[in-house]
Structure 1
C-alpha cells in the first residue's frame, strides 16, 4: 500500500508526493557551499489539499491522527514543517489561499532519511498549485529548494543545508543528483545499481537522530569560524591540494579535524561522480567507506550502532558502507552484490543483538523520482 492510498476518501484540489532521500556521499558539505550526491527514495510523503472558505489553514497527520489549525501564530512540532512553508511562500510575496491539508507518509521518521524535507516539498507543491489556480504566479521547481530550506532554517529553527530539499524536489529515477550547493547547478548522474548486479542496502540503526541539536549547530559554527580564519567565503574554497597549508593556519585541533573532513569529503564527491560517469560503480565502495571513517574520526558524528553496521557489512562482503544523514544515529548505506543483501542484513542483526542494541530495520532502495503530482 502506498502512502497516498491512506488519504481520506474524497476529492482534492491538489495532491503531490515528495520522497525521502539518502545521500550516496557528501555529508556536512552542503552548508559549506560544497558538493553532495543524494538520490531519492521510493518512500514518499503525500500531501493533499482542499481550498476552504474560512481564513487560515489546517493540517491533519495520518500518522498521529492530530489536526493543527493556524493562521499567523507560530506553530511548533511536526506541523511547523507545514506552517513554515505557508510562511515562506507569503514572505516571498505569494498569496497562499486558505486550505485544509492532509499528510500521509511511509518515509521512516527520525532515521536521517529526510522525512522533514519530504513534508516541506510536498506541501510547497500543493500550495503552489492552489496559488496558480487562484491566479497567482508559478514557482519553478528549480527555485523551490531554497525557499524550503529557508522555512526549515528560519521558521523551524534547524540549521540544515539545501541538500535535502533539493534531492526531494529535483531527483530523477535511476539517477543520483550531483548538486553544487553554492551555484545550485545540478547534474543527473546515472546510478543503475541493478544493471551492475548491485544493490544499495539501507540499515536503519534505530539510534535516535535529530537535526535540531546543539551538536549539529556546533559543527556548522566551527566550519564558519574556520572559513573566517582562513579568509575564504566557505570551506568549499579550500581544495585538497591546499589542505595542509590551511590546517597549518589553524591552532585548534578540533577545528582542524572538522576542516579536514569537509575538504576531503568534497573531493570524495567529485571522485564518486567521476566513477559513476565512467560506469565503475564498484569503485564507489571504497569512497563510501573513507567517508564514514572521516565522519567517525574527524567530524565525530557517528554512534556505536552505525559504526557496528558499517564494520559488519564490510566484513561480510560489502564494497563500501557509510552512515548517511546528519549523524548521531540514523541509517547506514552499504553497496553490496545484489544476491548478498539478505545475508549482510542478517549479519548486522546478529551483531546488534550481540551488542545489546535495538534490532535494526533494513531494506533495499533504488534511485527514484522527486516531487511528482498524484492523480486522485
Structure 2
C-alpha cells in the first residue's frame, strides 16, 4: 500500500531576518518539526548574521522593503509572512518621504496580492484608543492602523498582531543605558548604577519581554495555529516588575550598588530631540494614563507561556518557563 503523500511545504517569509525580532523568530522556526521552509529577507545577505542563518538552513534572500519588485519576488509562492518595520529607520524619517505607516500599508498590499495566507505583524495597540485620546503615541498608533488595514484583505486566512512588551534587550544596550542614567553599565559620580525615569503610573510595573529567549518562540507558535489568533492583537511578555525591584534584583545578582531615582513628570525625561527618546516620553505619558500597563491591560503571562510551550513542543524540546528579570540579569551580568 502506498504511503500518504507528504504535506506541501509551507514557506514562511521573515522580513528583517537579521534584526532583533527577525533573528529570534527565524532561529525558532528553523527548528520546527512542521514542514516549514524559512525565507529570510535582508538588505545585506553577505553579512555575518545573514550567513549564520543560511548555515542553519534559512534561504537568505536580498530584499529591501522600499523596492516593490524585490518584495514581490521575495513573497512569491509563500504561505506565511512575518513583518516588522522600524518606524525610527532613517528611510521612513525623511520629511517628504514615505512614513512607516505608508511602508507598512504598501507591504501589506503586496503580500495580499502575492497570495500570502498567514500575515503576522509586529504591532501595538493604539494608545490613543486605550486612553480615549488623552495620550496618543504617534508611532504606536500608526502601527495599529496598519494592522487594522491588513484585516480588510479577504485573501488572508489570518491576520495577527504580535505586540512585544518592553525589551529586556534594552538592558544590554549601551545607548539605552546612557539615556536612563547609566544602569546597568555605567556608574554615576556617587558610585551607583542608577536608573532614572518617570514612573509608569498605576500599578507601577513594567511589562517586559526577552525577544531572544521568549518572543521568537511565541511568534513561532502563532504560525502553528493561525486561525485561533486571527483578528487579534496578542500581547507578548516574559515578566513584569517595578523599577525598584529591578535594581534590587540586579544588586542581588551582581553585588553591585544600584538604585532607581524617579522623575517627577514624564516631561522631565530628556529627549535631546532624538525621535526614539521623544517617543519614550510619549510612552510614559501613555502608561500613566493607562494604569501603568504598557498593554493597556493587566499582565497575562499565561497566554505567553502557552505559546512558548507550543513552540517548544513543536521543536521537540522540554517545556521552559518564561525568563524572569532576575534570570535575565544573571544570564548577562552574573559572571561579572
Q: TM above 0.5, one fold?
A: no
Identify, as 1 or 2, the structure richer in strand: 1
TM-score normalised by L of structure 1: 0.29
